[in-house]
Amino acid sequence: MIRVMPKPMSLLKPPVPILLLGLGFLGVWRLAIALWIQPATFGESNYQANCIRIESYLSQDPAPKLALIGSSLTGRLLPEYFDPPFRHAVANLGLDGGTPWAGLIVLNRREELPEIVCIETYLLDAEPSANDRALVRQLEEPGIALALADPLFRAEYRPSALLYNQMKRRRDPVIVQEVEDTLPSPPATAWQRPKSFAGRMDRSPPSHTLTPFIVNLRDHGVRVILLDMPKGDTAPPEVSIENRTSDSAAAWAEVWQVERLDLRHVLGHNGWIPHYTDGIHLDSPSARHLVRMLSRYLALQPARTINGAKGH
Amino acid sequence: MLFNTWTFAAFLLPVWLLYYARRRLDWQIGVLVTASFTFYGWGTDPTGFARWKLIPLLAVSCAINGLATRHLLDSRRSPAHRRRVLGAALVANLGILGFFKYAGLFATTLLPASLGAGLIDWVADIPLPVGISFYTFQGISLVVDAYRSGTIPGLVPRETSIPAAREPCPTGRNSIESYGNTSTNANANANADTNPNSRHTGTLFHGRIWFFKCFFPQLVAGPIVKASQFFHQIEAKSIRNIDWNGAVRMLITGFFFKMVVADNLKEATASIAAPHFETLPSGTLLVLLYAFSFQIFADFAGYSLIAQGLGKLFGYELPLNFNRPYLAASLTEFWRRWHLSLSSWLREYLYLPLGGNRKGHKRTYFNLFAVMFLGGLWHGAAWSYAVWGIAHGVGLALERWLGIGRKAELGDWSPMRWLRALITFHVVSFLWLLFQLPQFSQALHYLRCLATNPFGILPQYVFVTLLFGLPIVLHHLWASSEAWRNLHISPKWSDRVEVSSYALMLALVVVMPGSPGEFIYFQF
């Protein structure tokens, strides 16, 4: 066999131009991010959508005042739907394919916690999913540190996510339903308040995956609200356990001594008809309307004082 | 350890630096064998099983094949002895492979319940060691080649080498005359073990074999390297001889295929899972089939390219494993383009020993069928893999009967060829479903849903499939000089486009990786 010896490497010969040009492309893209590109809100896949939310929360400056924790149901409540003062102070950790467990782990990665944390009740009793564990494992990888260090590595600036966002926004339906300026006051049944805030929370409540998180949030003076989210009627059987979820959420709200807000039936007020994109998740106009109602309810119902100390 | 992780990057650089720190064969083999075992035993598999527990298994496999090869290459041994050694080595290799691959199936279907559920569960839960199919086949090829030819260029046991004649070795780079010539190597000077240019292949006999078996770039998912492709390359390497151009291109393409194409498509094809796919419209189900076809190619070809690129970084050429398989106009041609190292192995060590096409038509059809059936089972102990193999076997036999696909039709771009390529692509894609849904009943259910669900296409899946499938399409259509000639693009511009393409792929690996995950073929 005849062997042909390769020539020594030269600066003008590949692979050097490939490497240099590759760096050049990255530099141009980084410049475009700094000067012109608006970050994506939606990801082209569940994983990328979750990365966008997680990285957005961890890099948000200043720290958000309100955090939404839950599954893809909550994920539809985009921060941009909120009115001031929450609009730029909201973090959405409603993770596609996830449960509140993963969102709460992400939440605690920041030293400064939000003032209000709303936790979706629909998968309150669900065990952490494989998706959850994969997301939490990713938090330990150097990739997340890179993403927080520079926008070049963030999911919201992926070319594919930006392209997908362009297409999705063009496809989104125009809001055709008019919303009255005056929103109704929340019905009395929408709010559940713990019977007593007095005294310290029982440190040994019945075992639940989320209990340590709830305890930690309450210890830091965070206002925790369990949120019953509306969903379409065509949800898979394992999700469509409305009555059981409601009873469970009510029970846990009492045990953890936190508030509970039932948003499942409030969308129908003032003639608004909720719509669902896939029979399960709210479409954009409905999500916007729900967000406005949530903002109003939070403003109208300040936290009860706890042991005489002023809540949020 | 996965190639596309920070851990691997942290592993590779010091290994590479250590490797070239001394230009001595014993040093370099020692570094790579140690590194390869570290690579193999690092971390845990998705079930939490610690991979370091598999190190003894790999060591045993290397030792068995090394011992057998030494006996088989020893010309002083009798033919009967050599036959016994070959038989024992084959039994050992296939026994290990069969045990780990099929123990679960055996336990749940054949073991009597009287043995106790605990024992049956224990046997059924024995994890499949990563890479066992690949390094076992490599071991088999080694012992069979040693038996057949009695010699392997680049590998001679010390017992059979001619005593050193104190002749000076060629200095500097190895001369063409001495390359692969074991008798010349056997006459090397007395300092063969320390002379970096020594080609005396009697030294480091077992070291060379262990190196061949466990060289980490190809250890866990191929390419399956034959002894004749590798041993003649073993010599002390210099950093100046690295084919940087080839290595960087292969690494960039490999990582792009894996991290950008396969890992992003994986997010969509995760929907090919029961019961989720039952609710998807039929158009989307078809789109997902295409997505999985692109994904499995990108994942596997990506791994092979990375392996080849890494091999080059250490001075070794690993064989090509994929040659634009979705351009195939027949299943026969497909198997000359897909997983070339496996199809070559099956041909040489199974098809030809069975008689190949030399024993009449009926025997040929049977041989094709048998080889593909066993090739299907090689992937795993599940009915889906068996059906996959059977389908390909039947297809190959049918094509043989019809006289289709006898020659590779590389340069023929006629409309008929395109039509046949499209049909072949669809046949292959539908059969890939059996890899994503190893439970056969689920695969059938998927096809049922494809036929009966309301028609509809979810834009998100189309977007992901089109965007991340496009590079695969371009790779197939453009990665050939024929394509450039057909477009009448000058070589200068084609060079610039080529460099820009690699640079763009490199940038996209940085800014657009998908969710990290194991390579599909790790499970085999």
Tokens linked to A178: 């008019």
Q: Using alpha carbons only, what angle is made at residue A77 by residues A74 and A80, rounded to the nearest 5 degrees?
A: 150
* A18/chain B closest Cα distance in angstroms: 5
Q: What is the DSSP letter of B52?
A: G
d(CA B216, CA A238): 45
Of A18, A44, A158, the CB nearest to B499: A18
pLDDT at A38 over 60: yes
Q: Residue B98 — pLDDT band, cuts 50, 70, 90?
A: confident
* A85: preceding bond cis by omega (within 30 degrees): yes
* A85/chain B closest Cα distance in angstroms: 33
Task: Return the percentage of chain B with pLDDT > 90, whole number.
Answer: 48
Judge contact between A120 and A74, C-beta under 8 A.
yes
d(CA B489, CA B485): 7
Query: What is the pLDDT of chain A when averaged over all its residues?
Result: 78
Tokens linked to B499: 């460099």
Average the pLDDT over each of B170-179, B317-326, B342-351 and give the range with the smallest value. B170-179
d(CA B261, CA B485): 27
Average the pLDDT over each of A158-167, B23-32, B157-166, B419-428 and give the range with the smallest value. B157-166
Tokens linked to B400: 């043989």
B34 touches chain A (CB under 8 A): no
pLDDT of residue B355: 86
Please provide the distance, in angstroms rounded to a whole number, between the alpha carbons at the two ends of chain B.
Answer: 16
B481 touches chain A (CB under 8 A): no
* Pairing outcome for strands A191-192 and A116-120: unpaired
Judge contact between A118 and A69, C-beta under 8 A.
yes
3-state DSSP call for residue B222? coil
How many A×B Cβ pairs under 8 Å? 105
pLDDT of residue B431: 93
* pTM (2 d.p.): 0.85
pLDDT of residue B411: 56
The answer for B 224-253 residues in CB contact with A (under 8 A) is 232, 240-245, 247-249, 252
d(CA B484, CA B386): 41
* B138/chain A closest Cα distance in angstroms: 23
Does the beta-carbon distance from A1 to B232 stay under 8 Å? yes
Q: Looking at beta carbons, which residues of chain B come within 8 Å of A152?
A: 510-511
Does the beta-carbon distance from A152 to B511 stay under 8 Å? yes
Of A29, A141, A157, the CB nearest to B507: A29
Instruction: Convert the pLDDT of each residue in B240-254 to its tens digit.
Output: 989 999 999 999 999
Judge contact between B514 and B262, C-beta under 8 A.
yes
Q: Looking at beta carbons, which residues of chain B come within 8 Å of A45?
A: 264, 267-268, 460, 464, 514-515
Of A8, A46, A134, the CB nearest to B240: A8
Task: Return the percentage of chain B with pLDDT > 70, whole number.
Answer: 82
As a whole number, mean pLDDT of residues A270-274 equals: 67
Closest CA to B211 of B90, B74, B58, B97: B58
pLDDT of residue B485: 57
B418 touches chain A (CB under 8 A): no
Quick one: A136 exposed, middle or buried, by C-beta within 10 A (0-12, 13-18, 19+)? middle
Instruction: Convert the pLDDT of each residue in A186-203 to its tens digit.
Output: 555 566 666 544 444 444
* Mutation site for B-interface testing, chosen from A33, A48, A139, A160 by largest number of B Cβ within 10 Å: A160
The answer for B 174-213 residues in CB contact with A (under 8 A) is 176, 179-180
pLDDT at A184 over 60: no
d(CA B169, CA B196): 10
Bigger pLDDT: A251 vs A301? A251
Q: Looking at beta carbons, which residues of chain A come within 8 Å of B6?
A: 141-143
Does the beta-carbon distance from B241 to A5 stay under 8 Å? yes
Q: Residue B382 — pLDDT band, cuts 50, 70, 90?
A: confident
Please state the length of chain B. 524
Of A1, A24, A44, the CB nearest to B463: A44
- Which range of A127-136, A248-257, B290-299 scores highest in mean pLDDT? It is B290-299
Which single residue is written with the structure tokens 């796919």? Answer: B277
pLDDT of residue B155: 77
B492 touches chain A (CB under 8 A): no
Q: Looking at beta carbons, which residues of chain B come within 8 Å of A21?
A: 499-500, 503
Q: What is the DSSP letter of A200?
A: P
pLDDT of residue B222: 81
pLDDT of residue B441: 87
pLDDT of residue B313: 96
pLDDT of residue A190: 62
As a whole number, mean pLDDT of residues A242-271 equals: 73
Q: Looking at beta carbons, which residues of chain B come within 8 Å of A31?
A: none
Judge contact between A226 and A251, C-beta under 8 A.
no
As a whole number, mean pLDDT of residues B17-34 equals: 94
* A127/chain B closest Cα distance in angstroms: 18
pLDDT of residue A291: 87
- Provide the total of helices (H) and of strands (E) in chain A, helices listed first: 10, 6
b/e map B483-495, b = 16+ CB within 10 Å:
ebeeeeeeeeebe
Q: Residue A176 — pLDDT band, cuts 50, 70, 90?
A: very low
pLDDT of residue B169: 39
pLDDT at B186 over 90: no
As a whole number, mean pLDDT of residues B88-102 equals: 89
Which single residue is written with the structure tokens 């949030």? Answer: A217
* A4/chain B closest Cα distance in angstroms: 10
Minimum Cα–Cα distance from B248: chain A residue = A15
pLDDT of residue B497: 87
Does the beta-carbon distance from B464 to A45 stay under 8 Å? yes
pLDDT of residue A256: 86
pLDDT at B408 over 60: no
- Please report the sign of the dihedral spanned by the C-alpha atoms of residue B446, residue B450, residue B455, residue B457: positive
3-state DSSP call for residue A123? coil
Tokens linked to A80: 């941009």
- Which range of A175-184, A202-211, B69-78, B334-343 scores highest in mean pLDDT? It is B334-343
Query: What is the pLDDT of chain B when averaged over all its residues?
Result: 83
Tokens linked to A136: 């939490």
As a whole number, mean pLDDT of residues A57-63 equals: 90
Of A15, A134, A158, the CB nearest to B245: A15
Q: Residue B509 — pLDDT band, cuts 50, 70, 90?
A: very high
Minimum Cα–Cα distance from B249: chain A residue = A15
Closest CA to B263 of B63, B514, B2, B52: B514
Instruction: Convert the pLDDT of each residue in B421-468 to its tens digit.
Output: 999 999 999 999 998 887 888 889 999 999 999 998 888 899 999 999
Tokens linked to A208: 């639940």
* Mutation site for A-interface testing, chosen from B271, B506, B509, B518 by largest number of A Cβ within 10 Å: B506
Tokens linked to B329: 């106009």
Instruction: Convert the pLDDT of each residue in B46-67 to its tens digit.
Output: 777 788 888 999 999 999 999 9
- Which range of B158-172, B213-227, B490-504 scores highest in mean pLDDT? It is B213-227
Minimum Cα–Cα distance from B504: chain A residue = A22
Q: Looking at beta carbons, which residues of chain B come within 8 Å of A14?
A: 245, 248-249, 499, 502
Task: Return the percentage of chain A with pLDDT > 70, whole number.
Answer: 71
pLDDT at B239 over 60: yes
pLDDT of residue A186: 56
pLDDT of residue A53: 94
pLDDT of residue B5: 85
3-state DSSP call for residue A67? strand
* B46: preceding bond cis by omega (within 30 degrees): no
Strand pairing partners for A120? A227
* A151/chain B closest Cα distance in angstroms: 10
pLDDT of residue B439: 81
Closest CA to B4 of B522, B351, B517: B517
Instruction: Convert the pLDDT of each residue in A113-157 to its tens digit.
Output: 999 999 998 888 788 887 888 888 888 888 889 999 999 999 999
pLDDT at B296 over 90: yes
Q: Looking at beta carbons, which residues of chain A come within 8 Å of B242?
A: 6
pLDDT at A7 over 50: no
As a whole number, mean pLDDT of residues B274-298 equals: 92
* A277/chain B closest Cα distance in angstroms: 11
Instruction: Convert the pLDDT of each residue in B114-152 to its tens digit.
Output: 666 666 666 666 777 888 888 999 999 999 999 988 888
